[in-house]
Each structure stands twice: as structure tokens, then as C-alpha cells.
Chains A and B, each alone.
Chain A
Amino acid sequence: MSRDKILAALRQNQPESVPLPSSMPLVRVEILELQAKFKTVAEGIGSTVHLVDEFAAIQPLILARFAEEKRILSTIGELTALPAFELNSDPHTYANVDVAIFKSGLGVAENSALWLTEDQMGIRVLPFITQHIVILIPLSALVPDMHAAYQKIGEAEYDFGTFIAGPSKTADIEQSLVLGAHGPRSMTIFIYA
């Protein structure tokens, strides 16, 4: 059996065990500095960032920004004026979604990545298949770097989770950056206090 053969060959050939290194130190950064860093990096990779003082300010901005779009789905209960996500177990039924809105509980300032798990997505395909993606995140959920991000994720149980940093993109044709490869053509982020 290949499994046993591979494991036996490894046990024969792998070097003597060497220890793991110590973890990278966690840095502390002041929250407004994190917000500024996050915004600069996010805009640098093609996202739009809105800083709002209160949650209530978000809904009118989304409605205004996407007034032209036909199918909008919100996975956030508090956004009562937006059509709520309803689960259909066939992911293909979301192929015509124009705008999908999510709430993240973890954002990384160094690369503007936002962490979403399956229960925050409604259905796995949604953040990818939608033409435009909107993610809300409380200011207090920003961390400086990926080490802090994984410390926060810790041993959390999830079936599927992803870091999303910006709209989908490609530069495969002569290194010309094009936004909207297969997934969202735009990403809008709201950071609220």
C-alpha cells in the first residue's frame, strides 16, 4: 500500500527531529494607527474604505452606492432595508447576485485582509460569485498583523474560512492589473466605531 510505503520511506530518510522555533512576538499598535494602516493598504489594492462613526450610517451609504443593482443580499440582520439572505442549498442559484454584504469579526491592518467563516457567509460560494462584495467590520476587530490574526482565530472551529483582501484580480496578461477576474469586481469596506 502506498500509504505505508511512503511513511516507511520517510521514517527511513527524514533527518533527526529539530525543534520548532519560538513564535513571532505580538506587537501592540494604537487602534487609530491600525485603522489608518488598514485603509491605506486596502485602497492600495483596489478596495474602497468608508470610516463611519456609527453603524446606522452604513445602510444609507450601501443603498446609495448600489442603487442600480438588481439582486442584493445581506447576511446582516441589522440592515433591515436590504434583502436578507435566505439559504438555498444549491449554490448555483446565487449566480446572478450583484451585491453581497457580510460582517467580519477580524481584519488585518498589514494587508487589509478580512476573515470570514462559513456561518458569516450564508453559503460558501457567495463572497466569490457576487459581482460586488461589501464587508462591515467594527474598528475594535482590527489587529496589526497575521500573527495577531491567528492568535485571535486560535483553536476556533469552522468548516470553511477565508481571508479576503480586495476585489478578485489578475495580472496574467503582460502584468497589467485587471480587477474582477472571476470573483467580485469591487470590494467596499465599512469600518465602524
Chain B
Amino acid sequence: MNSETKTHPELSDLFNKDEQRVDWHDQTLWWIRQKRDKSAHSIPEWEILREKASEIKNNALSNLADYLVSFEQKALANGIIVHWAADAQEHNEIVHGILQKHGIRKMVKSKSMLTEECHLNEYLEKQGLEVIDSDLGERIVQLAKEPPSHIVLPCIHKKKEEIGDLFHEHLGVPAGTSDPQILTEAARQHLRETFLTRKAALTGVNFAIAETGEFVVCTNEGNADMGAHLADVHIACMGIEKIIPKRKHLGVFLRLLARSATGQPITTYSSHFKKPRAGQEMHLVLVDNGRTIQMGREDFRASLKCIRCGACMNTCPVYRRSGGHSYNYTISGPIGAILAPNLDREKYADLPFASTLCGSCSNVCPVKIDIHQQLYKWRQVIVQEGYATSSKKMSMKIMNYTLSSPSVYRTAGKAGRWVLKYIPFAVNNHFNPWYKQRDMPDAPKESFGEWYKKNVK
């Protein structure tokens, strides 16, 4: 898929061509949001938990350098080999170097948004290595040669019939298969063979504990464990912000993570890796890739508290109707839209505008990131730095002029109502982006200001 140069509105247009699919996508994600609500409401202390999680993350970020040093020291003592990578390139080289040292050309990988962010698969494939993603959703998008469209539900945009076609082509299931049970079983057999034959496994990290040097990986499928416990070499990759101070803090985060993500009380597996198993080599790569810069931006630093549950996507009215691929960044949805501009303000200038600023994302965030306020702040930074499109700049100028003068505002209001009433075709046409997928409203007879003058003496 070549979406390198397309903006969020352009990519959303593509997604919106199939209205039925948009409705289905919207409803599926809303259903997950409702499961999250049911799960959260079953915990009376839910809001206290969110507050604690937020405070623990604030503490972790404000002492991150010390916590990283402590974590490294403990992890080394536990027998884990620790690497530091300043950026995506260095991260990819480190992973490649480990594989080269062992003469390994094929690796199995479980879900890691960080390696997606670093484009590790493409990098290793260019070096002639093979990487197989083992999370079912990730394997599906890998076979389709697409990026994941959601951080927790990578193929949420795909219909089972399309997955059946992919599995027919690549895994040899009979044509026309679309039963999720049969498709999952086919993937199980295919990936079991993969797990049993790979000498290296790469996993992500959900939490790393400064106090003990252990790291925790959460999955429902068991794929991270199948890979790691069978391989001679386990490589775990994490962004530096994944550190939490103490083991007991896992109690807070594991209660929040799965409930926020899918409404489950906990993921099936929450595996605590402290030492390599006898005879195994365990590597851990700590990656910066822009995080230390984000740390220095007071308005945006809280985005580093994210635990990647995806709740903000499931609830977002824009994400649900535009699809994850419309964001054109590894992490889509509201959180992606505040993380992406940190890396490249020009390329991702449109993302903070892909929001209604309704605030639903901030309300469901388990670590209380002020997502919608950061979106609003990014807009100001982007316009000030001159990355906004010219139409956006022009409309902002006109808006500013209109709203700064009461008389211009009144005249513009009257003109608008007159147009909607007498010549609606002047706005009900494809030159008006607001008219796409929407009907224009009927014009009220008078403005609130006019009504007020008449009725309030």
C-alpha cells in the first residue's frame, strides 16, 4: 500500500468509499468500548486505580534516568544482556547484529509496536532475513503486506472472507473458508511449526521493573511465551518509557490494561521474565527514538505515560469511521496523533486535526493522559510553525476576523442563514468538504442573539 504522501482526510476518503464497511468497523469498535465500560464499572475503585496509575507513571517519568540505571544494573545481574539504542536505525542494527552473531536467518516475533515503529521487519528482510509475526492479527496483516490498523487488534479492518482468501493463498486452506474457528486452527498449525523451528524469538515488553530488572509481556494467544521458551535466543525490545518503579505496581497496571483494552479481567498470560533459562541467551534493547525529546516538551510529555491499551481508539468517533490506516503512522487513533508529530511535524501535521476534540479519549485513558488537550495544543504548534495546509490557514484567518468583530459576526450569521434558506445549492455541493457524508442543517429563522433581544427586556 502506497500511502506515504497521503493525508488523513485523503486516506479517510478511501476508507469511506465503502459505507457498509465503515458502519461495521464503527459498530465493532463501539462494541469493544462497551465491553470496556462494563468491565470498568464492575470495579468500584476504578477511578482511584486510574489516578494511582497516572501518579505512578508521573513518578516513573520524573525519575526515568535513575530507574533505567537501576533496571539495567538488576537486569545485568540477572544475566540479561542490555543494549541501548538512540534511534530506530541503531535498534535495527543491534537486533541484526545479535542474529548475525548466532548465524540465525529466521526469527519468530510476537507483538511489538516498537519494532513496527522502527520498521524492523523491512530492515531485516532487506538484509535477507525472514521474520514471521506470530500474533494471529499481525500474521494476517503481514500476509496481506499491510501495517496493523490498531495496536491491540491489528486486523480489525479485515473481513473474515478476506482472511480466508489470504489463508487460501498462503496456508493452503480450501477456497471460500471463512469460519474463524477453522481459520484460527490453520494459523495454529502453521505457527506451531514456526515456533518449533526458530532459534531466535523477539518479543515486546509491556512493563519493565526498575526494582527487580524483570520485564512483563502480556498476551492472550501465548505466542510470546511459545517463541521465547523454545528459542535459543530471546530478544525483547522496549521504549525507555515502559519502566515502572516496583513489582507491586504491576497490581495497578495489570488490573487496568486488559479491562481498558478489550474488557477482559486480565490477559490470558502475564509473563514475568527475570532470568534467561539455562542455556538460553536473553537480550533486552532499550530504545529512545524521540522519547527523550518528547520528555522535554512540557505540554506533550504525558503522552509517554501510554500503556498501549488502545481504549482511545475504540472510543474515538473519528478513528471508528476513518480506520487505522488513515493515520499513516504505526500508532493510530488519538494517542498516535499526539505521538507522531513528535517524530516529524511536517509529515504528520494533519493528525492532530483528525479529531473532534470531544474528549472521550481522555475519559477512557487508564493512565489519565490529557489526549484531547494535547491534540489541541499540537494544532497550535503546527499552525505557528507553518505546517498547516493553506486552506486551513485561510479558514482560520477568516474565522479569526469574523469572531473578533461583533458586527461582522452578526452579518455573517445572517448571510449564512439566508444562504441555507434561499440558495442551499450554494453550500450543498462537492466544493464544500463539510457536505461530504452529511446533509446541511435547516436554517433557523433567527439567531439566538436576535431572539434574546426580542424576548428579554
Residue of A nearest to B195 (CB): A182
Q: How distant is the Cα of A146 from the Cα of B49 in the complex, in angstroms?
A: 12
Residues on the B chain within 8 Å of A23, using CB: 248
Residue B240 is within 8 A (CB to CB) of chain A in the complex? yes
- Give the contact stretch, choosing among B98-106, B114-122, B183-191, B341-349: B183-191
- B49 and A2 form a contact (CB under 8 A): no
* Contacting residue for B229 out of A124, A166, A181, CB 8 A: A124
Q: How distant is the Cα of A147 from the Cα of B275 in the complex, in angstroms?
A: 24
Taking the nearest CB of chain B, how far is it from the CB of A46, in angstroms?
Answer: 9
- Give the contact stretch, choosing among A12-20, A52-60, A65-73: A12-20
Residues on the B chain within 8 Å of A16, using CB: 62
- A146 and B135 form a contact (CB under 8 A): no
Residues on the B chain within 8 Å of A9, using CB: 288, 292-293, 295-296
Residue of A nearest to B140 (CB): A172
- B163 and A173 form a contact (CB under 8 A): yes
- B265 and A6 form a contact (CB under 8 A): no
**Count of inter-chain pairs, beta carbons less than 8 A:** 234
Residues on the A chain within 8 Å of B272, using CB: 158, 160-162
Q: How distant is the Cα of A174 from the Cα of B162 in the complex, in angstroms?
A: 11
Question: In the complex, which range does the number of interface residues on chain B fall in?
Answer: 35 or more
Residue B222 is within 8 A (CB to CB) of chain A in the complex? yes
Residue B340 is within 8 A (CB to CB) of chain A in the complex? no
- For chain B residues 131-148, which have a beta carbon within 8 Å of chain A? 134-137, 140
- B196 and A92 form a contact (CB under 8 A): yes
Taking the nearest CB of chain A, how far is it from the CB of B360, in angstroms?
Answer: 20
- B265 and A45 form a contact (CB under 8 A): yes
Q: How distant is the Cα of A181 from the Cα of B155 in the complex, in angstroms?
A: 16
Q: How distant is the Cα of A185 from the Cα of B328 in the complex, in angstroms?
A: 36
Contact status of A14 and B65, CB under 8 A, knowing A9-B288, A24-B45: yes
Residue of A nearest to B87 (CB): A2
Residue of B nearest to A4 (CB): B84
Q: How distant is the Cα of A170 from the Cα of B220 in the complex, in angstroms?
A: 6
Residues on the B chain within 8 Å of A176, using CB: 160, 180-181
- B296 and A170 form a contact (CB under 8 A): no
Q: How distant is the Cα of A16 from the Cα of B154 in the complex, in angstroms?
A: 37
Residue A180 is within 8 A (CB to CB) of chain B in the complex? yes
Residue B266 is within 8 A (CB to CB) of chain A in the complex? yes
Taking the nearest CB of chain B, how far is it from the CB of A120, in angstroms?
Answer: 13
Q: How distant is the Cα of A11 from the Cα of B63 in the complex, in angstroms?
A: 8
* Contacting residue for B277 out of A7, A20, A124, CB 8 A: A124
- A2 and B288 form a contact (CB under 8 A): yes
Taking the nearest CB of chain B, how far is it from the CB of A59, in angstroms?
Answer: 26
- B251 and A147 form a contact (CB under 8 A): yes
Contact status of A159 and B275, CB under 8 A, knowing A146-B255, A173-B160, A182-B192: yes
Give the top 3 A-B pairs by smallest Cβ distance, nearest first: A183-B222, A13-B296, A111-B265
